[in-house]
Structure formats: structure tokens, C-alpha cells
Structure 1
């Protein structure tokens, strides 16, 4: 599932898309999704979309996919410059978004594309690997 969004209003719409996607993963495909996973995915989508709207001109594309018991959250934007990933600093005010995403995700990657970059975070659907057949 994917969608294109622009500006700060797009962040809320992207979170809603992620919620609908995970609800479908449960209802249509019968895969378990922990409430914690639902919350984490929405937070990760929010952080990545906020950064895209803040640092890249134009629309951003959110893509969601499920593979091997995890949801892959990918956000593409038109700015080819990789994000600056700051080290943890409890005295810093703000700019903790990617730090949070990296801490919560099981996988995190930044890929340059011909027209910008794609940031991908992978989040487990459940803490129980047997529930998703791993």
C-alpha cells in the first residue's frame, strides 16, 4: 500500500494510511499485529514523514509492505542528501526523530535514488516469532 503526501497535513494522513494498512493485514490476511507494533509503525511513519516534509521540497511517498513477519515502512522524498543521524544526547532539545526510529526498528536503511532518497525502517508485527510463522 502506498500514498503520496505533502506538507505537515500529509503526516496525519500517512499515519491514518499506516493504521488502515495494519488493520487490513490483520483482517484480510490473518496476520497478527500487536498493539505495540501498531503504535510503533504509526510513530515511525510520523517521524519519517515529518522529516520529509521539513527537509525535502514537494511531495513524499509512503510505501508499506509486509514480509516475513515485519512491516517495511519506506518514505521517499526529493532531497538526495542523506539525513544527519545525531548521536543520543539527552540535553538536546528536538531533532530526536531518527534516533527514535533507529531504536524502535529492527532494520533501518537510507538509499539514494535518481530523484532523491528512500528511508526504510522495518518493524516486527509481533514480539512472538511463532505467531507469524518465523
Structure 2
């Protein structure tokens, strides 16, 4: 597969080849407008990956605001940071090796996906205020529009969807 041209992010719905062919025949703006903005990166599974993933998501959202004039509130940015932090923490804690973080703005929804190498699906524990730890997925579930986990040929993928539309107070 050919690499994605500089400045163009391929969504999982579009291959790098699709993007390369379209950029050869269309101005960059037309290609970018027809795509869901997407970015992905990988981490080695070390504890530093958690903070790095938070900064990655903040940078992605800031870039959307700057380049696409997307309206992303500080609340959505904070929620996205917390969700990616919890998901990457679980990946680093329970899965040996690397993890991958993908973020995509699909219309009014920000999708945060974390892949890791462990095939066991996460289990959300019942709320227990006295329990120390084990509240990460409970938090994620409370903050997102939807949450799903599925096994992959290697490991699993966990996806959380967050509305970027402003909420009424």
C-alpha cells in the first residue's frame, strides 16, 4: 500500500491508495472536505504512553479547530482526554506490548479507538464507591455516547464515541 500523501489523513473507511489516487486528480481542499478527519499513532505500552496519548488527542482536536474550523468545546476535549487516558491505561496495564490509538471525527461524533494485543474483552464492574481502582470503564461508559469492545485477529479493539455537539446545561 502506498503511503498517504503529506497533509492528507486516510480514514479507516478509505485506503491510502484511494487517497493517493484522489489527490492526483483533485485539489487538497476537495479531498480533505470529502474525508472524515482521522489520525492514529502507536505506543510501546510503557506508562509514558498514557500522557502521550492524552497529548495526541488534544493535538488532534486543536488541529481540527485550526484547519477545519471545527467547533470542539473545552468540555469535549477534557472528556476525550479522560477517555483515551482510561483506555490506554487499561491497555498498558493488562496487555503486553504495544497499543494503537486512532481518533476520527465522523460528523458530530468523535470516535476514540484503542487496540491492544490482549484478546480478553474488558468488563465493566458494578459501581462500588468503596472499591479502590477498577473504575476506568465505568467512567468511560458514563462519559461517552456509546462504547464497544471486540476481539480482533490479534488482540482487541475498544471504541468510545463522544458527541461533539454542545450540551444544554
For the superposition of Structure 1 and Structure 2, which TM-score range results when normalised by the shorter chain?
Answer: over 0.9
- The answer to whether the aligner puts 1:2 opposite 2:40 as a matched pair is yes
Moved over 4 A (4+): none
Runs of 5+ unmatched residues, structure 1: 130-134
**Which residue number corresponds to residue 46 of structure 1?**
85
1:17-96 → structure 2 map (5 Å cutoff): 17-96=56-135
Instruction: State the superposition RMSD in angstroms.
Output: 1.2
Q: Which has the larger radius of gyration?
A: 2
Q: How far, CA to CA, are the matches of 1:126 and 1:25 in structure 2?
A: 14
Q: How many residue pairs get matched?
A: 129
Name the TM-score, length of structure 2 as normaliser: 0.74
Residues of 2 paired with 1:89 and 1:128: CA distance? 28
User: Which has the higher relative contact order, 1 or 2, with Cα contacts under 8 A spaced 6 or more apart?
Assistant: 1
Q: Following TM superposition, by how much is the alpha carbon of 1:87 offset from its aligned partner in structure 2, in angstroms?
A: 1.0
Structure 2 regions of 5+ residues with no counterpart?
A: 1-38
Residues 39-90 of structure 1, C-alpha deviations (whole Å, 9 max, x = no match): 0000001000000000000000000000121110000000000012101111
- Give the secondary-structure state (helix, strand or coil) at the position aligned to 1:89: coil
- How far apart are the structure 2 equivalents of 1:69 and 1:96? 27
